[in-house]
Amino acid sequence: MQELIKAKAVELLENGVCDRVLGWKAGEFFYDVTPAVFRSREEIEKDFVFGPFCGANMSKYLIAESRKEGKIAAFLKPCDTYSFQQLQKEHRIRRENVYAVGVQCEGMCDIDAMKAAGIKGILGADGDGGTLTVHTLYGDKSVERKTVLAERCKCCKSKKLLGCDEIIGGQGEELESNRFAQVEKLEAMTPDERFAFWRGELSRCIRCNACRNVCPACSCEKCVFDNPASGVENKAAANSFEENLFHVIRAFHVAGRCTDCGECSRVCPQHIPLHLLNRKFIKDINELYGDYQAGADMDTRPPLVNFQTDDPEPSVVHERGSEQ
Amino acid sequence: MQVNQEFKPTIVAFCCNWCSYAGADLSGTNRLQYPANVKIIRIPCSCRLNPMFILRAFQRGADGVILCGCHPGDCHYTTGNYYARRRMTLLFSMLDFLGIERERTRVEWVSAAEGAKFAATMNEFVETVTKLGENKRLEDLRCKS
């Protein structure tokens, strides 16, 4: 797969289809793959990687890149293509400046899951399909991909590549996933238990803003949380309010636009399950206003800038609560 | 001197300029009683209410927040309250998801002719929040004097 993609990148550059390529570059560690722009054949051959750790959502970078001069080719995984379409819908990406190549994805892996599976001294991992080859200090090992998948990939919603100019690795299908299972589990708890759970999770937040910076939906040019007068622009020493406020407002801001790509949880250095907040909104929207998948199409109105005259009243929250 | 230790909640009521604010006015001119700890903030339309305002109110020491607007279909700007309705439903659901007592937030539609409804709503809401006690889960110690 990596070779196919590299060859395609070189081909696009040399045929003049684009003058730069957005792809993945090896970072400091093999599992720390970073998005990068490549401008020449040499750069691609030296640094371009595509492997089990290329989790980064590329659509976010197209916002800035598509406004520059010239055309950029981007490699997009299925979940990236949802964000890609959503951002086009919001007029954030200039489609005419992007050559989108869809790349089929088998699910990205989590280094912590690999370590937890008892593999020691990991030096690298590669391979396509169901089995990965993990290179370790003690020789190569083969590992089932599904045992070391990232949390978000275990309940993948879709392998469909949307709105691409070209596809590598074949078109996929929307999948049946149980991605709301964890949200349901939390909903079944009592308010006190839920409060304790979220306090435990959110109090670890260090307000590094990584979740905001990586989120394709969170791409405002001015952000309320950058305002030093807001009182919530950094971590409060004293109490929990600003964490609650930050994460509630952030989740609310992307409600109806979040494609559930799970980047927020991937980049969180404190491993806070932030995607659960977004999923809660998606689940509520599906239940109250009809099924909606952000980015799945180009013409429907997002649920929060739309209404029906017979929408349920806000008191539905109280009523639903009393049944539980 | 005897100090009254009884808990009096602080309630912030966001009222839309065209219906509920006039409704509050009517309940005043009709001499209907509602507790003095309800602080009314006038907003141009119920959909002006940024979800952040609600959290801010809690931060600055509110124990309950209520939004009053025109009845759905009667919005001065035609559709504002429909949008507000969706937003508030989702926000309240999220606050509940985080374990913040759902009884502290409410939306009520009060028209300019419903002075009695305004007073009754406020009386009832203050009673509910008094029973819940002080807001502990969304307070900001930095804002306590």
Q: What is the pLDDT of residues A116-169, one digit of tens each?
A: 888 878 888 887 777 888 888 888 888 888 888 888 888 888 889 998 999 988
Considering CB atoms only, which of B52, B59, B85 is closest to A314?
B85
Q: Indicate whether A237 pLDDT > 70.
A: no
ipTM of model: 0.89
Give the per-residue pLDDT at A141.
82
Considering CB atoms only, which of A195, A305, A314 is closest to B89?
A314
Q: Looking at chain B from residue 60 to 89, which residues have their Cβ under 8 Å from any Cβ of chain A?
A: 72-73, 79, 82-83, 85-89
Question: In a 10 Å sphere around its CB, with 0-12 CB exposed, 13-18 middle and 19+ buried, how is residue A291 labelled?
Answer: exposed
**Mean pLDDT, chain A, whole residue set:** 87
Give the per-residue pLDDT at A177.
83
Start-end of H helices in chain A: 2-14, 41-47, 59-65, 78-89, 111-116, 151-154, 181-187, 191-202, 210-214, 241-254, 263-267, 275-289, 316-323
Give the per-residue pLDDT at B1.
61
Q: Indicate whether A292 pLDDT > 80.
A: yes
Q: Looking at chain A from residue 201 to 240, which residues have their Cβ under 8 Å from any Cβ of chain B?
A: 224, 231, 236, 238-239
**What architecture is domain B11-136?**
3-Layer(aba) Sandwich (3.40)
Q: Can you give the residue ranges of every domain in chain A?
A: 2-108+150-168, 181-323
Find chain A residues with C-beta within 8 A of B88's C-beta: 314
Q: Quick one: chain A helix, strand, coil %, rounded to 5?
A: 40, 15, 45
CA-closest candidate to residue A15, choices A95, A93, A71: A71
User: How distant, in Å, are the alpha carbons of A74, A85, A91, A117, A161 from that of A94?
Assistant: 13, 11, 7, 43, 19
Q: Please name the residue of chain B whose CA is at the shortest distance from the CA of residue A192.
A: B99
Q: Which two tokens stand for residue B42?
A: 């006038």
Distance from the A200 Cα atom to the nearest Cα atom in chain B, whole angstroms = 11
Radius of gyration of chain A (CA): 21
Give the per-residue pLDDT at A324.
47
Confidence tier at A3 by pLDDT (50, 70, 90): confident
**Crossing angle (nearest 10°) for helices B115-132 and B20-29:** 100
Average pLDDT rounded to a whole number, residues A197-207: 88
Give how far the C-alpha of residue A81 lies from the chain's centroid of Cα atoms, to the nearest Å. Answer: 11
Distance from the B21 Cα atom to the nearest Cα atom in chain A, whole angstroms = 20
Task: Report the predicted TM-score, pTM, of the whole model to 2 decimal places.
Answer: 0.90
Cβ contact A259:A79 at 8 Å: yes
Q: How far apart are CA A294 and CA A303, in angstroms?
A: 9
Q: Can you give the residue ranges of every domain in chain B?
A: 11-136
Q: What are phi and psi of A191, to 5 degrees?
A: -55, -35
Distance from the A310 Cα atom to the nearest Cα atom in chain B, whole angstroms = 9
